[in-house]
Amino acid sequence: MFNKFQEIYIMSAHRGGGGGTATPPPTTTGGRAFTFLRAPTTVTAQMNGSAALADGASISTWYFSNGGGFNGDRTVPSPVIEANQGEQVAITLSSMMPHTIHLHGLDVDQQNDGVPATSFEVTGSYTYRFTATHAGTFMYHCHVDTNKHMEMGMFGTIIIRPSNGSTTQAWDNGSVFDKEYLWQLTTHDSTWHSGMGGGGSNLARYRPDYFMINGKDGANTITDSATAITASAGQKVLVRIVGTSYMPGIIRMGSLPFEVIASDGRPLVQPYITTEQMCAAGERYDILLTMPSSGQYTGGIEYRNIRNTDALGTVTTTITVA
Amino acid sequence: MRRRDFLKAGGAGLVGSTVFSISGLTMLSPGNANAATVSFNLTAEGTYKTLVDGVSVYVWQFIDTNSTGPGALTSGLVVKEGDAVSVTVNNNLDRNIRFSIPGVSMSSTRTISPGSSRTYSFTAPAAGSYLYTDNVNGELSRAMGLAGPMVVMTTNGSNNLYSGGPVFDRQYTLFMSELDDRLNAAVQAGGSYNMANYEPNYYFANGLSYPDTKSNSDTLIAMSVGEDVAIRFINGGAITYPMHFHGYHVNVASRNRIIEKNVIEKDTVQVERGECVDVILPVAQAGTYPLHTHYVPGVSANGVYAKGGLVLMSAA
Ligand SMILES: [Cu+2]
Ligand SMILES: [Cu+2]
């Protein structure tokens, strides 16, 4: 042990799942800005969705549904699924066509990893099972012809709550918050959504032309109640950032500083305060925003090209002190 | 032991008393820690690469028949900290090049004109992962394939990522790169290509695309539960690589040899252009899991999934 990566052992103090005793949840009432499904639950693969874009156009979408996609009012992203740390989680996929659920970041076993090459495609129904070992922010998405299926919208967020189920604490003995938002970073290349199923060389180059948070772009994002942050002066707002776009995004809360407290479902050893944070494809960042005394601010995501540091497109929303 | 076996060798092979002679590189046992004098001979060459879908593309490579790199790379350098290293580079390309290793100062910064050679000498720097390339032609060189990995082991050849650093049971080097076949065609035709228009459509780990990565021992990451496996990501391409681990979280140890202080467990590790990121993977469970760029178009060959930058990790 002495010769090992010593920080790993320092980290264990921050880890959950080790049988530690969780503190009682704070009494403040939590406030999600989004609806969710409580595991165990079932989602159905859908290949007949559509998404309304701010320019009046509409694109076809594929997604997972349980009475609707994200927030119940849009197809993409797919619904948020929640469970508690320590639970045996069961998520059933029902599908007419071959799809899977990859439980991104949850370190599940091979059988439940949702990768066709190392497990199997699901036509019909399969219940994915895993133990939730760490509270935090995770992702799920289809892993069949992933470049196409994921871009079409077959993705959502999984939130693992602390052992006691608190909705005002990020992990056992972790940061507390008053309100909670989820920003799922998504971009679309509209040409990938046209035609029947795509595939082949038309998928050779990814050129996103719509830049979104939670499946809304342009003016729709500015007013979207699932995305636009409203809280009282001094309240702590947890924003879970999920890097679902293939392109990295720079997170900004206007000029407001925020604290980065966790990434990829693990608390940071050294949380830090910044005014911008990059979130690459597949990453998650949990950030804590303490609301200033007054005012309205413009936050959002600046998507960057993986090729260089050029901005590809920007999406903004409002941060309002109520 | 072939040099490519060395790149992924486990602890027993490294700390034993055996003297390895690999490609002119003499690895001395810990009992004799004197720095070695090592030399390499690289030829910068235009050649043809057959891609995973059978398409043949004109590429540039550093070729060292004595010291081929891991996987399908045509060269690779493995040295120990403090070694006196000399690299002779022969330029068979049609333009000037200059051998360069970011983070290492060379005896010469002069270029090599077409048809001539030059020898660059340096003292092997701090243990860690490095990228060598040509730095005259900018990103065009990396887009064309003119780059390779250099792994510097500690002075005594121990299984530490750096002196006093994390210990590993095995190590793998994953050199990530990609190409845009339109650029290669333009260069082959003697034309130029505006890198602003670079949009790759083929992606590689150690020069191989999945499923070819499965059948090469350098890109099939074999490991055992309970081990700590070092993975050295060396981004030799001209795009960023957000590398996602299925089945595991890893600890980021260093970025460009700078020790990562805010150690956290990550399942996705962003590797910037030209960056070298060393991680330690504690093998927590058995099974076979993918490791791939989450720029998911990078897991395809000209749009066909999953023939791209994906390798499998298999834990017994
Ligand atoms: Cu699917
Ligand atoms: Cu994923």
- B170-315: CATH topology: Immunoglobulin-like (2.60.40)
Among all residues of chain B, which has the CA nearest to that of A142?
A: B296
Mean pLDDT value of segment A278-285: 98
pTM equals: 0.91
Q: Is B53 on the interface with A (CB under 8 A)?
A: no
Ligand 2 centroid, distance to B41 Cα (angstroms)? 41
Mean pLDDT value of segment B30-52: 85
Mean pLDDT value of segment A129-145: 98
What is the reported pLDDT for A195?
Answer: 65
Least confident residue range of A136-140, A205-209, B2-6, B93-97? B2-6
Ligand 1 centroid, distance to A65 Cα (angstroms)? 13
The verdict on domain B13-153 having CATH code 3.40.47.10 is no
Cα–Cα distance for residue pair A93/B170, rounded to 1 Å? 37
Place of tokens 């003995």: A173
Mean pLDDT value of segment A275-296: 98
Cβ contact, residue pair A307, B198, below 8 Å? yes
Among candidate residues A225, A243, A105, the one with its CA nearest the CA of residue A186: A243
* Beta strands at B287-293 and B241-245: parallel, antiparallel or unpaired: antiparallel
State the nearest Cα–Cα gap between A59 and chain B, in angstroms.
20
What is the reported pLDDT for B264?
Answer: 80
Residue A126 has pLDDT above 60, yes or no: yes
Ligand 1 centroid, distance to B31 Cα (angstroms)? 56
Place of tokens 């390309």: B93
What is the reported pLDDT for A248?
Answer: 97
Q: How many CB atoms lie within 10 A of CB B125?
A: 19
Cβ contact, residue pair A203, B300, below 8 Å? yes
Cβ contact, residue pair A307, B280, below 8 Å? no
Among candidate residues B2, B23, B8, the one with its CA nearest the CA of residue B206: B8
Among the partner residues B198, B249, B253, nearest to A264 by beta-carbon distance: B249
Place of tokens 């409580």: A38
Cβ contact, residue pair B290, A5, below 8 Å? no
Residue A185 has pLDDT above 90, yes or no: yes
Cα–Cα distance for residue pair B278/B182, rounded to 1 Å? 32
Residue B10 has pLDDT above 50, yes or no: no
State the nearest Cα–Cα gap between B305 and chain A, in angstroms.
6
What is the reported pLDDT for B263?
Answer: 73
> What does the H/E/C string look like for chain A?
CCCCCHHHHHHCCCCCCCCCCCCCCCCCCCCECCCEEECCEEEEEEEEEEEECCCCCEEEEEEEECCCCHHHCCCCCCCEEEEECCCEEEEEEEEEEEECCEEECCCCCHHHCCCCCCCCCEEEEEEEEEECCCCEEEEEECCCCHHHHHHCCCEEEEEEECCCCCCCECCCCCCECCEEEEEEEEEECHHHHCCCCCCHHHHCCCCCCEEEECCEECHHHHCCCCCCEEECCCCEEEEEEEECCCCCEEEEECECCEEEEEECCEEEEEEEEECEEEECCCCEEEEEEECCCCCEEEEEEEEECCCCCCEEEEEEEEEEEC
Most distant CA pair in chain B, distance: 54
What domains sit in chain A, N to C, each tagged with a CATH number?
Answer: 2-161 (2.60.40.420), 179-321 (2.60.40.420)
Among all residues of chain A, which has the CA nearest to that of B272?
A: A306
| B264 vs A contacts (CB less than 8 Å) | 11, 263-264, 266-269
Ligand 1 centroid, distance to A155 Cα (angstroms)? 9
Condensed to tens digits (0 to 9), the pLDDT of residues A56-107 reads 999 999 999 998 999 999 999 999 999 999 999 999 999 999 999 999 999 9
Ligand 1 centroid, distance to A38 Cα (angstroms)? 22
Q: Is B285 on the interface with A (CB under 8 A)?
A: yes
pLDDT above 70 covers what percent of chain B? 89
Residue A18 has pLDDT above 60, yes or no: no
SS3 B241: strand
What is the reported pLDDT for A4?
Answer: 31
pLDDT above 90 covers what percent of chain B? 86
What is the reported pLDDT for A202?
Answer: 79
State the nearest Cα–Cα gap between A242 and chain B, in angstroms.
12
Place of tokens 């082949």: A200
Strand ranges across the sheet with A58-65: A58-65, A41-52, A88-99, A122-131
Among candidate residues B79, B62, B89, the one with its CA nearest the CA of residue B148: B62
State the nearest Cα–Cα gap between A270 and chain B, in angstroms.
6
State the nearest Cα–Cα gap between A20 and chain B, in angstroms.
19
Among the partner residues A113, A206, A269, nearest to B262 by beta-carbon distance: A269
Residue A273 has pLDDT above 80, yes or no: yes
Cα–Cα distance for residue pair A87/A75, rounded to 1 Å? 28
Cα–Cα distance for residue pair B43/B167, rounded to 1 Å? 34
pLDDT-derived band at B33, boundaries 50, 70, 90: low
| B238 vs A contacts (CB less than 8 Å) | 307
Residue B1 has pLDDT above 50, yes or no: no
Q: Is B270 on the interface with A (CB under 8 A)?
A: yes
What is the reported pLDDT for A30?
Answer: 55
Condensed to tens digits (0 to 9), the pLDDT of residues B104-141 reads 999 999 999 999 999 999 999 999 999 999 999 999 99
SS3 B309: coil
Cα–Cα distance for residue pair A37/A240, rounded to 1 Å? 17
- Report the residue of A106, A307, A308 to disrupt the B interface, i.e. the one with the largest count of B CBs within 10 Å: A307
Q: How many CB atoms lie within 10 A of CB B199?
A: 17
Question: Is pLDDT larger for residue B63 or for residue B15?
Answer: B63
Cβ contact, residue pair B270, A248, below 8 Å? yes
Question: Distances from the Cα of B275 to the Cαs of A125, B208, B264, in angstroms?
Answer: 43, 19, 19
Q: Is B244 on the interface with A (CB under 8 A)?
A: yes
Number of cross-chain residue pairs from A and B with Cβ atoms under 8 Å apart: 155
Ligand 1 centroid, distance to A125 Cα (angstroms)? 13
Q: Is B11 on the interface with A (CB under 8 A)?
A: no
- Report the residue of B169, B254, B302, B305 to disrupt the A interface, i.e. the one with the largest count of A CBs within 10 Å: B305
User: Residue A322 in contact with residue A232, Cβ under 8 Å?
Assistant: yes
Averaged pLDDT score across all residues of chain B: 90
- For residue A100, give the ligand nearest its CA: 1
Residue B23 has pLDDT above 80, yes or no: no
Condensed to tens digits (0 to 9), the pLDDT of residues B272-286 reads 999 999 999 999 999
State the nearest Cα–Cα gap between B278 and chain A, in angstroms.
13
Place of tokens 């076809």: A60
Q: Is B239 on the interface with A (CB under 8 A)?
A: yes
* Beta strands at A58-65 and A88-99: parallel, antiparallel or unpaired: unpaired
Cβ contact, residue pair B297, A205, below 8 Å? yes
Among all residues of chain A, which has the CA nearest to that of B195?
A: A307
Among all residues of chain A, which has the CA nearest to that of B214?
A: A117
Residue A160 has pLDDT above 60, yes or no: yes
What is the reported pLDDT for B112?
Answer: 98
Question: In what helix (H) or strand (E) does residue B186 lie, and over which residues does it extend?
Answer: helix B181-188
- Report the residue of A1, A2, A3, A5 to disrupt the B interface, i.e. the one with the largest count of B CBs within 10 Å: A5
Residue A201 has pLDDT above 70, yes or no: no
Question: Distances from the Cα of B172 to the Cαs of A298, B109, B151, in angstroms?
Answer: 44, 31, 10
Where are the domains positioned within chain B?
13-153, 170-315
Ligand 1 centroid, distance to A95 Cα (angstroms)? 9
User: Residue B71 in contact with residue B207, Cβ under 8 Å?
Assistant: yes
Cβ contact, residue pair A243, B294, below 8 Å? yes
Mean pLDDT value of segment B2-16: 38
What is the reported pLDDT for B19?
Answer: 24
What is the reported pLDDT for A12?
Answer: 30
Condensed to tens digits (0 to 9), the pLDDT of residues B217-254 reads 999 999 999 999 999 999 999 999 999 999 999 999 99
- Report the residue of A107, A108, A270 to disrupt the B interface, i.e. the one with the largest count of B CBs within 10 Å: A107
Residue A16 has pLDDT above 60, yes or no: no
Condensed to tens digits (0 to 9), the pLDDT of residues A227-257 reads 999 999 999 999 999 999 999 999 999 999 9
- The half-sphere exposure of B150 on its side-chain side, counting CA atoms within 13 A, is 30
Q: Do domains B13-153 and B170-315 have the same CATH topology?
A: yes
| Residues recorded for chain A | 322
Ligand 1 centroid, distance to A142 Cα (angstroms)? 5
